[in-house]
């Protein structure tokens, strides 16, 4: 297994556009997490799934953010009507028990 993968690695978009990021977790990991990291800060938790169930979404930054994990494997994070303040690194992690393994992230730049 090659670890957690994320696509795309970089995304440049114009303000107001929608963007979608994909995360493929380590196979057999039942939990999947999304974090956002802005410059000079540590990652900030957004949401997580256990299998296909989204167990925590109260920390999604606004109703423009949504995430899915329809078959309990890969997940997508969508940001609608992007704003310049959404520019950040979006990190995905997966786990089986207490250790979370992170992907390389998707860097989003909103112009």
Partner 1 sequence: GEDVEQSLFLSVREGDSSVINCTYTDSSSTYLYWYKQEPGAGLQLLTYIFSNMDMKQDQRLTVLLNKKDKHLSLRIADTQTGDSAIYFCAEMTGANNLFFGTGTRLTVIP
- Say how many C-beta atoms besides its own lie within 10 A of residue 95's C-beta: 18
Using the rule CB under 8 A, is 72 a contact of partner 1? Answer: no
The answer to whether 105 contacts partner 1 (rule: CB under 8 A) is: yes
Class of residue 33 by CB neighbours under 10 A (exposed 0-12, middle 13-18, buried 19+): buried
The size of the interface with partner 1 (CB under 8 A), counted in residues, is: 25
Give the number of other Cβ atoms within 10 Å of residue 75's Cβ: 26
Whether 50 and 31 have beta carbons less than 8 Å apart is answered as yes
Q: Are strands 65-68 and 75-79 parallel, antiparallel or unpaired?
A: antiparallel
**Looking at 44, 52, 74, 76, which residue binds partner 1 (CB under 8 A)?**
44
Is 1 in contact with 20 (CB distance < 8 Å)?
A: no
Select from 40, 70, 71, 84 the one that contacts partner 1 (CB under 8 A).
40
Residue from 1, 27, 42, 84 touching partner 1 (CB under 8 A): that is: 42
Region from 11-19, 20-28, 75-83, 90-98 binding partner 1, contact rule CB under 8 A:
90-98
Chosen residue from 13, 20, 22, 31 binding partner 1 by CB under 8 A: 31
Q: Which residues bind partner 1 (CB under 8 A)?
A: 4, 31, 33, 35, 40-45, 48, 55-56, 59, 91, 93, 98-105, 107
């Amino acid at each position: 297994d090659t670890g957690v993968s994320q696509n795309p690695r970089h995304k440049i978009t114009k303000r107001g556009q929608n963007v979608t990021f994909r995360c493929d977790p380590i196979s057999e990991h039942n939990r999947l997490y999304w974090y956002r990291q802005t410059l000079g800060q540590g990652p900030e938790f957004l949401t997580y799934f256990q299998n296909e169930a989204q167990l925590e979404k109260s920390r999604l930054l606004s109703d423009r953010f949504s995430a899915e994990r329809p078959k309990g494997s890969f997940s997508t994070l969508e940001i609608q009507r992007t704003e310049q303040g959404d520019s950040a690194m979006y990190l995905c992690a997966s786990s089986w028990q207490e250790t979370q393994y992170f992907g390389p992230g998707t860097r989003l730049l909103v112009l």
